[in-house]
Amino acid sequence: MEVFNKPALDKASKKYADARSPLRAWCREMENGVWKTPVELKERFPNACIVRGNLVIFNIKRNRYRLVARINFQRDFVFVKSFGTPADCDDIIAEEV
């Protein structure tokens, strides 16, 4: 999958230094992965929460942080919408639902 909005990941890595390594690992995993359906994605990321079709919330660093992304399974790309603590992401998630 192609990962869009990598600057958001860079910004998050600077703000939350302890998330730098898990974010890089997530990005590599996404770039090397091929998931054609939400079910396939959940097989690899069982703790991810799929909200309304293509909005996915990934737990990073054992749910200390959340990464909110939109995934287009047909076009094979993921767009990073937000990253932060669960409280940071709650507003963004509420807007989408």
Q: What total of structural domains would you count in the chain?
A: 1
* The overall pTM is greater than 0.85: yes
35-83 residue pLDDT tens: 999 999 999 999 999 987 789 999 999 889 999 999 999 999 999 998 9
Q: What is the CATH number of the domain that holds 15?
A: 3.30.2310.20
Residue range of the domain that includes 71: 2-96
Long-range CB contact pairs, 67-76, < 8 A, 24+: 67/23, 67/26, 68/92, 68/93, 68/96, 71/1, 71/35, 71/38, 71/41, 73/35, 73/36, 73/37, 73/38, 73/41, 74/36, 76/1, 76/2, 76/34
